[in-house]
Amino acid sequence: MNAVIRTENLVKRFGHVTALDHLNLEVAQGETHGFLGPNGAGKSTAIRVLLGMLRAGAGRAELFGADPWKDAAELHRRLAYVPGDVALWPGLSGGETIDLLGRLRGGIDKGKRDELLERFDLDPRKKGRSYSKGNRQKVALVAAFAADVDLLMLDEPTSGLDPLMGAVFNECVKEAAAAGRTVLLSSHIMSEVEALCDRVSIIRKGVIVETGTLAEMRHFSRSRLRATLKNPVRGLSDNEGVHDLKVDGFDVECSVDTDALDDVLAQLAVAGVATLTCEPPSLEEIFLRFYGDELAASGVANGEENGS
């Protein structure tokens, strides 16, 4: 019952395009949740429904247990939002924009604001029209992190930031999580999600195709195994859990289902192991597994092989 965000069979259509097709998303309180998917998968649409900007076509969406469409203004007191593409008022300076957004929420902690400006290395006196994309995003990020809220909704917040600012951003998210805030982080930067998120949902064509902790997801994926053996091994190709097997003399390389690791290691031990490396799948590999057919359609041979 302590889900901060919950959608049940959420559907949103724009004309003939189905942007969300029975989406089930759940984010628990205090969790940093990664929302993964390529452009056009429906991430922003889902977030905008949750913010009450778009009305759900069918199904349910809940924010703090309430209806985000009906109680939008009230619910927004408890959250801060950073859009994927931040547009600022050309005549307002960054500082004015940050203060205004803070005052709409009932006031802004001046110390926090100045500290964040310092950390993000942002000049608050520049007018909105003269900021670069990255700096526009920083304005929205400073306003969001300075707000005293329970939930942060961040839609691809680092797409215009340089790596240094990306690191500052990661720190800020970790601090927010440590303070007990719930974070929904939509992204397609895997390293960011891997570093920050407790749980991850992967969205594809408006449906959540996978959700869980990184460990759980790895469990359902294949590890990459490389070994140099002392004697030739037999019977590996018969094992159903072994894929992409390459044997070159005593060198063995393959992908192994997590459930089959026991058997494979036993088989290798029989042959005698000289060196052994076994890598869990990266988030990128897990992600690409769900998009293998799209990659194939656009001419990339195999999602899993390209992932490593």
Q: Which residues bind other proteins (CB under 8 A)?
A: 48, 51-55, 72-74, 76-77, 79-81, 83, 85-93, 95-101, 103-106, 124-127, 129-130, 140, 143, 153
Q: In this complex, which beta carbon is closest to other proteins, that of residue 55 or of residue 230?
A: 55
Q: What is the Cα–Cα distance from 300 to 233, expressed in whole angstroms?
A: 32
CB of 79 to other proteins, least distance (A): 8
CB of 37 to other proteins, least distance (A): 19
Element (H, E) at 246: strand 242-248
CB of 266 to other proteins, least distance (A): 55
DSSP line for 267-297: HHHHH-EEEEEEEPPPHHHHHHHHTHHHHHH
Count the residues in the chain.
308
Q: In this complex, which beta carbon is closest to other proteins, that of residue 130 or of residue 308?
A: 130
Q: In this complex, which beta carbon is closest to other proteins, that of residue 83 or of residue 307?
A: 83
CB of 110 to other proteins, least distance (A): 8
Q: Which letter, b or e, does each residue of 93-108 get, where b requires 16 or more Cβ atoms within 10 Å of its Cβ?
A: bbbbbbbebbeebeeb
Query: Which residue has tokens 């500290």?
Result: 115
CB of 240 to other proteins, least distance (A): 49
Q: In this complex, which beta carbon is closest to other proteins, that of residue 13 or of residue 243?
A: 13
CB of 12 to other proteins, least distance (A): 9
CB of 105 to other proteins, least distance (A): 6
Q: In this complex, which beta carbon is closest to other proteins, that of residue 86 or of residue 256?
A: 86
Radius of gyration for the alpha carbons in the chain, expressed in angstroms and rounded: 23
Q: In this complex, which beta carbon is closest to other proteins, that of residue 137 or of residue 158?
A: 137
56 touches 10 (CB < 8 A): yes
DSSP line for 130-188: G--HHHHHHHHHHHHHHS--SEEEEESTTTT--HHHHHHHHHHHHHHHHTT-EEEEEES
Q: In this complex, which beta carbon is closest to other proteins, that of residue 85 or of residue 305?
A: 85
CA-CA-CA-CA torsion sign (175, 178, 181, 187) = positive
